[in-house]
Structure 1
C-alpha cells in the first residue's frame, strides 16, 4: 500500500478557541456542511437523507450554497477535494488532503490512530475489513473498536474507504 502525504495539524489545546467558519455545498447527495477554521477542518456533515434541499435539482453536480465569502485555505482545499470527488473521482488520489483541526484527530487515542492509519495507508476506494484496519493500526484484536472509531469519524467523506 502506498503511503499518502497527509498534513497533521497539532492542536493548541487550552489555547484560545478558533474562529469557526461554515460553508455549505449542493452536491448529488444533498447539502453538505463543512466546518473549519484557519488551522484546518473541524467536521463535514453529510445530509441525513439523500434528498436535495427544496428548489435544488437532482442534476446539480456541485455548487457553493452558502459561506463562500469566508473561505479559509483548508475550506478551499476541502472544496477542491469534494469537487474532484463528485466530478472526477480518480483525481482525488493526487490532491492534497486539507489539514484537520478536530480534537478527536489530535488526541493520542486508538480512534485517532485508526483514522490516521486509514487515511495514510489505505488507497482511495480500496476495500479493507475492520480486522485488516485493526492490524494496520497495531492491534489485531480490535476489529470492534475500529467500528467504533469509524462511527465517530468527523470527516467521513474524506477519511473513508470501502469497509
Structure 2
C-alpha cells in the first residue's frame, strides 16, 4: 500500500467502534477499536478520489450490515497474507450469512484436513474482521471459541445479529 494513497476511516457499530484502512484497490485492514488502535501511517496531503470512494463504500456497507440490510459485502477486499492464509480467508468468505462452520470444515475446504490448528491461526490473523467472516467459525462441538484477541462477546453478538436478521426475513 502506498503511503501516499490510503485512508483510515472509523465506523460506529452497536458493539463499539471499528476502523478500516483502504487504498485505491480496496479495504486492506480493519479492526475493533477496543482491541487495537488503527495502524499508524505517514502523513499525506490527500487521497485520490478512487481511494476515498473505496473507504466511503466500505463504511456504508458496514453500516448496512449492522442495520441488518446487507448480508454480503461487495466492496473490494485486499487482505495480505501467506498463500495458506489467503486460501482460508477465501473459504471464510464463502460461508453463508448466518451460517456456522467448524475449523475442521475450513481445513477440509482448503484441502488440508489435518491443519485445523493452522486454520485457527489464520482466522486469528484475519486482517478484515466482519468483512471476512471469521466469526462464523466455531469449535467442532459448536462452542464459540477464539475471536479477535479472545473477544468472544463480539463473535457472539455478530452471530446473534445474523440470526436475528435471518429470522426477521423469514417472518411472513
- Where does 1:10-159 land on structure 2 (aligned, <5 Å)? 19-48=5-34, 72-88=52-68, 91-93=69-71, 95-104=72-81, 107=82, 109-119=83-93, 121-159=94-132
Residues 14-57 of structure 1 deviation map (CA, whole Å, 9 limit, x = unaligned): xx6561111112222222111111111111111226xxxxxxxx
Q: Which has the higher helix share?
A: 2
TM-score by length of 1: 0.66
Query: What CA deviation, in whole Å up to 9, does each residue of 1:104-157 have, x standing for no partner?
Result: 2xx5x11110001110x2101210000001111111111111100000000011
Unaligned runs of 5+ in 2: 36-48, 138-172
1:99 to partner: Cα distance = 1.0
Normalising by structure 2, what TM-score?
0.63
User: Does the 8 Å CA contact 2:27/2:54 hold for their aligned counterparts?
Assistant: yes
Find the counterpart in structure 2 of residue 3 from structure 1: none
Gaps in structure 1 of 5+ consecutive residues: 1-10, 50-69
Question: For each residue in 1:43-72, what CA deviation from the matched residue of structure 2 results, as whole angstroms up to 9, or x when unmatched?
Answer: 1111226xxxxxxxxxxxxxxxxxxxx762
CA contact (8 A) 1:133 1:146 kept: yes
Residue in 2 that maps onto 1:62: none
Q: Secondary structure at the match of 2:120?
A: helix
Total equivalences in the alignment: 122
Shift of 1:101: 2.5
Per chain length, whose mean CA-contact separation is higher, i.e. which structure has more relative contact order (CA < 8 Å, sep 6+)?
1
